[in-house]
Amino acid sequence: MRKIERFSVLEYFVRSLFGILAIVLLSVIMLIAAIFLLSDQPLTSIASFFAGPFSSLYAIGNMIDHAVPLAIGAVGIALAMRSGNMNIGGEGQVYAGALVTTIVALALPGWGLTGILVALAASMLVSGSVATLSGWLRERWNVSDLITTFLLSNIIILVVDYMVAYPFVDPQTNLISTRFVDPSYHLLIILPPSQLNIALCIALVCVLVAHLFLYRSRTGFELRMVGDNEEFARYAGVDHRLYRILPMTLSGALYGLGGALAILGTYHATIKGFSAGMGWNALLVALIARFKPAAIIPAALFFAYIDAGARSAMFYSDVTYEIAYIVQAVIFFLISSSILQRIALGRRRV
Amino acid sequence: MIHTLTNLSVSAVTIMAPLLLAATGGLFTELSGMLNIALEGLMLVGAFASIAGVYFTDSILLGLLIGVVSSMLLSMILASVTLYLKANVFITGLAANLFASGITVILSFHLFGNRGVITFDTLKELPDLFTGFAQQMPLIAGYHVLTYLSVVLLVAAWVLLYRTRFGVRLRGVGFHEQALASLGLSPHRYRFAACVLSGLYAGLGGAALSLHLGSFVPNITAGRGWIALVAVFLGQRRPIGILLASFIFAFAEAFSNYAQGAWSVPSDFLLAIPYAISLFAIIFYSVFETRKKRIEYRKD
């Protein structure tokens, strides 16, 4: 006979947090080992990696600013994953959202707040539609969403690259980039001199709303039910087909929003390839957070920290930016291991 | 017209080799019931390690060996973590891809002092075979050695999977895991073997890519591992289907290369052609399959 194991919520929380921290610690140890192997001045490299992101208010603000689109994209991924859907087309959806926002802002100069809202809505509409298409294809014809989101994303990236390089290019810069949007479209900076802006508040609202939606609404409950056990949900009378499409739409729209806010808050123009990596990184943030909206905030901040650390180490020392990938890869190798989770939770069997 | 078509087919066959090798690797894992999205990363490691190997050992054979062994090592890590630590294969696959794109750039910076393109003037070229016959048999003769090897290895994979006890058991794991376990065999062991085999094939695919080009560029695989995965699905998980699907993709890429030179269409659109063809192919295939199933369902 198996004993029924009792767990308090707090103990569960503390133990699973401990498990994740142990994995993170291991990845940091691997990073330090890699730096010692690769760098001629390992101590300088390590110092600039870990302390660099906190060296000034400017650095801290920019680090948090970089976490914003990741967090918003991760919220969408969490919704898609919790319902058993897969959207790995974030790269294209972020990039498309960014371009659409830029185009709207350039087309409607001086519209101010209304213009910002129109631009954000347009980007969410476009990116959301792309993801919806993948969801619909899976619902209707059982086409793997894993593959369609990926392929669509690659096509979109190339189309956006073309748009940025030809029809919308700004001939006056050396970069391949669109024109800059006018200052009435810039989001309010909340921590000058850094680029941190009110998009941060939008990200926090997204996390909060997603949390309430998942755990406090009927739709959210049904969404989780479909993700946990689709057969069961069908017998319970849940319209499981809706949950093949709705979460995809939401995840696409949120990716689009992330790209749009990066434009209005930080970059102010679509530069060719500026968002490369954002889509994947948001997916990875959602994975560290184990698809729980509340955990997305620390996960996104951690991710932005590693990113900023690698940039600072590259700038002040002799290692390349790609050492950040080592940390990320180690985490992702171990984060989903159910054996390690079991050890962390102190259970012999599950 | 005929001449252009022949030329396109010839370059398609060359382009096909890395894709076919990676897709055959994906076939092993797919049949054993693992979704292997790490093909991209395995190819990338194979591409880098083989070109670095050729540079340092000055021998094509040793270079290939180094490339294949490196990518097999990564596939072993992937398999161990996925199977013995019971991790999600999709997530560990992403990890392997991330690791591959990081480690190749780090090592290229560390060994060659360059994060971008590495080209060596002194690098040995892959030997072409049957060049003398290339005029008489334009579609069959005159390719480099790895192109022939890719087809030979596809046949080898077919023999291994369908004509040996090992292969039957490997497919058995994917078909019905408990059945195999009830015979006292370890499903994990066969999945592990499938994963290492996919590392071997994908690594060779990566090597075919970089050694043919004679240089290494970060992200040289540019989505080919993913396309290989699509080819496995599209080829209905059968060797002959995979060959066909790989050729279609390679032909699309050859066409986009040709069109880039011949017409003044923006290159971005042409680069999208292989992805678009993959997309339409997978959609048509799924529509066809779903309809067939629905009709069968109605008959019952």
Write out pLDDT tens, residues A65-88.
999 999 999 999 999 999 999 898
What is the torsion angle, in degrees rounded to the nearest 10, for the CA atoms of residue A184, residue A188, residue A191 and residue A192? 10
Inter-residue contact B233 to A147 (CB < 8 Å): yes
Q: Which residues make beta-bridge pairs with A178?
A: A169
Q: Minimal Cα–Cα distance from A162 to chain B, Å?
A: 6
Residues A92, A81: Cα–Cα separation, whole Å = 18
Whole-Å CA distances, A141 to A133, A145, B224, B279, B290: 12, 11, 25, 13, 6
Closest CA relative to residue A280, chosen from B90, B233, B117? B90
Does the CB of A287 have a partner CB in chain B at under 8 Å?
A: yes
Residues of A in contact with B106 (CB under 8 A): 34, 38, 319-320, 322-323, 326
Residues of chain B above pLDDT 70, percent: 95
Inter-residue contact A92 to A259 (CB < 8 Å): no
Q: Is the Cβ pair B230, A336 closer than 8 Å?
A: no
pLDDT tens digits for range B18-35: 999 999 999 999 999 888
Domain locations in chain B as residue ranges: 2-225
Comparing CB atoms, the residue among A143, A280, A336 nearest residue B286 is: A143
What pLDDT is attached to residue A268? 92
Size of interface A-B (CB pairs under 8 A): 132
Does the CB of B163 have a partner CB in chain A at under 8 Å?
A: no
Whole-Å CA distances, B258 to A49, A166, B5, B141: 46, 22, 11, 21
What pLDDT is attached to residue B121? 67
Q: Is residue A159 part of a domain?
A: yes
**Domain span at residue A79?**
64-187+199-288
- The number of domains in chain A is 1
Q: Is residue A234 part of a domain?
A: yes
pLDDT tens digits for range A18-57: 888 888 888 889 888 888 888 888 888 888 888 888 989 9
> Residue A63: which pLDDT band, with cuts at 50, 70 and 90?
very high
> Above 50 in pLDDT, residue A1?
no
Q: Minimal Cα–Cα distance from B137 to chain A, Å?
A: 36
pLDDT tens digits for range B186-199: 889 999 999 999 99
- In one-letter notation, the amino acid at residue B154 is L
Q: Is the Cβ pair B269, A151 closer than 8 Å?
A: no
CA angle, A151 as apex, B4 and B9 as ends, to 5°?
A: 15
Does the CB of B111 have a partner CB in chain A at under 8 Å?
A: no
Q: Is the Cβ pair B269, A158 closer than 8 Å?
A: yes
Residues of A in contact with B96 (CB under 8 A): 329, 333
Does the CB of B75 have a partner CB in chain A at under 8 Å?
A: no
Q: Is the Cβ pair B105, A324 closer than 8 Å?
A: no
pLDDT tens digits for range A99-119: 999 999 999 888 888 999 999
Q: Is the Cβ pair B106, A322 closer than 8 Å?
A: yes
Pick from A4-13, A202-211, B57-66, B196-205: least confident: A4-13
Comparing CB atoms, the residue among A86, A329, A336 nearest residue B98 is: A329
What rounded mean pLDDT belongs to chain B?
A: 87
Does the CB of A38 have a partner CB in chain B at under 8 Å?
A: yes
Rounded average pLDDT over B192-211: 94
Comparing CB atoms, the residue among A142, A155, A280 nearest residue B286 is: A142
> Residue B6: which pLDDT band, with cuts at 50, 70 and 90?
confident
Q: Minimal Cα–Cα distance from B236 to chain A, Å?
A: 14
Residues of B in contact with A176 (CB under 8 A): none
Q: Is the Cβ pair A162, B268 closer than 8 Å?
A: yes
Inter-residue contact B63 to B51 (CB < 8 Å): yes
Q: Minimal Cα–Cα distance from A331 to chain B, Å?
A: 8
Residues of chain A above pLDDT 90, percent: 47
Per-residue tokens: B8: 């396109």
> Residue B215: which H helix or E strand, with range?
strand B215-216
Does the CB of A161 have a partner CB in chain B at under 8 Å?
A: yes
pLDDT tens digits for range B178-189: 888 888 888 899
Rounded average pLDDT over B95-114: 87
Q: Is residue A261 part of a domain?
A: yes
Q: Is the Cβ pair B87, A338 closer than 8 Å?
A: yes
What pLDDT is attached to residue B134? 63
Helices A323-334 and B60-84: crossing angle in degrees, nearest 10, is 40
CA angle, B288 as apex, B284 and B293 as ends, to 5°?
A: 150
Inter-residue contact B228 to B26 (CB < 8 Å): yes
Q: Is the Cβ pair A141, B290 closer than 8 Å?
A: yes
Q: Minimal Cα–Cα distance from B60 to chain A, Å?
A: 27
Comparing CB atoms, the residue among B86, B110, B233 nearest residue A337 is: B86
CB atoms within 10 A of CB A57: 13
* End-to-end CA, chain B: 49
- B215 half-sphere exposure, CB direction, 13 A CA radius: 10
Does the CB of A141 have a partner CB in chain B at under 8 Å?
A: yes
Residues of A in contact with B86 (CB under 8 A): 337-339
Q: Is the Cβ pair A336, B88 closer than 8 Å?
A: yes
CA angle, B39 as apex, B93 and B64 as ends, to 5°?
A: 130
Residues of A in contact with B115 (CB under 8 A): 320
The DSSP 8-state label assigned to residue A245 in this structure reads H
pLDDT tens digits for range B263-300: 777 778 877 877 888 888 889 888 988 888 888 887 77
Per-residue tokens: A75: 């919220």
Q: Is the Cβ pair B279, A155 closer than 8 Å?
A: yes
Helices B165-175 and B187-213: crossing angle in degrees, nearest 10, is 100
